[in-house]
Amino acid sequence: MCMVRPLRIQYENAYNHVTCRGNARQLIFSSDTDRSAFLALLGRSSDVYQAEILAYVLVNTPGGNLQEFMRHFNISYTGWYNRRHRRSGHLYQGRYHSFLIDADNYLEEVSRYIHLNPVKTKRMKAFDAAARRKALGAYPWSSYAGYRSPGSRRPFLRTDEILAHFGGDTARGRRGYARFVEQGLSASLENPLELGRGHGIVGDADFVHAIRARYLSGEEDTREIPTARNLAVRVEPERIIGAVCAETGASREALMQKGFRGFGRALLMELLYRHGGMKQREIGVLLGIDYSAVSISRKRLYALIKKNRDMRLLMEKLGEILRQD
């Protein structure tokens, strides 16, 4: 049987969950010295290629250069490991594996999945939640410690983007994130990466559709796309604002105000994301709010659209208007 490997999609500011397997399933660490070297080289490679490490290993590549970054890092660690252990040959089994992540909707869930991995082993399943919580806090080779305490944070680790959803890099925000992660010790959580099985994209239906439309249209069956920087035509923000004002009856001044009451502002955020190609951080800047507030508003809108037929029809109508030339 011929297995088609998932396409690798690279573009600026993409988020990826990355894994590598040892050759013939062998271990790639023989000691804590190896683990320390692995993290040191990860930090060095991230600095060279300006890749942002949000968790071990959840990578954001602002420069759209994941392949170059991973090649440099894997060669560096393989060379170090082979010299130390007086061996030669491949350390890893083939290429690295990656999932493209819809950061606006799945970043926190994927980070939690990564941080719970040390206590999701067969051996740890026999222990209760309290024992696993203790083991999780004591595990030294995870980025989780850096989320709980700045003093345990490696210099290359970027925690601000995820912690922003829990109150920021403050004592309150760090406690909030720890509660979020540790909820997974006693609850049966779905693996968010299952959403990407077969096509390598972890996101909601709109995100998957947008990625396929922008980068994979007519290309899936012919070749792998090493990079894709040219986005499809985006609708200008002012046109989106005008459409929302026209359909909701709100004035532009009212809609753009931080304290605006009504669903029009949430509609605007969603349409700026879907049709304007804007990141939640960019939407937050435009509307004068933190991007975590954009995420919360969009999630509430999704829930409203599912329950309210009129709202769903309004969203569809606005989409049709914005797709017109």
pLDDT tens profile 85-143: 999 989 998 888 899 999 888 999 999 999 999 998 888 888 988 999 999 999 999 99
Do 28 and 176 reside in the same domain of the chain? yes
pTM for this model (two decimals): 0.69
Do 34 and 176 reside in the same domain of the chain? yes
User: How many Cβ atoms from other residues are within 10 Å of residue 104's Cβ?
Assistant: 20
Mean pLDDT of 191-202: 88
Q: How confident is the model at residue 1 (pLDDT cuts 50, 70, 90)?
A: very low
Do 136 and 21 reside in the same domain of the chain? yes
Q: What's 301's domain CATH number?
A: 1.10.1750.10
What pLDDT sits at residue 10?
Answer: 79
pLDDT tens profile 254-300: 999 888 878 899 999 989 987 887 877 888 899 998 877 887 888 78
pLDDT tens profile 167-181: 899 999 999 999 999
Q: What's 18's domain CATH number?
A: 3.30.70
Task: Share the mean pLDDT of the chain.
Answer: 85
- Rg of the chain on CA atoms, in Å: 22
pLDDT tens profile 153-164: 999 999 999 998
Do 32 and 123 reside in the same domain of the chain? yes
How many domains does the chain contain in total?
Answer: 2
Please say if the pLDDT value at position 222 is more than 50.
no
Domain that holds residue 277: 237-320
Do 53 and 136 reside in the same domain of the chain? yes
Of the residues 164, 196, 228, the one at which a domain ends:
196
Do 154 and 47 reside in the same domain of the chain? yes
Please say if the pLDDT value at position 231 is more than 50.
no
CA separation for the pair 245, 268 (Å, rounded): 9
List the helix and strand counts (H, then E) for the chain: 14, 5
Q: What is the largest CA-CA distance in the chain?
A: 73
Mean pLDDT of 205-218: 78
The whole-angstrom distance between residue 107's C-alpha and the CA centroid of its chain comes to 4
Does residue 224 sit within a domain? no
Of the residues 166, 196, 226, the one at which a domain ends:
196
CA separation for the pair 55, 17 (Å, rounded): 9
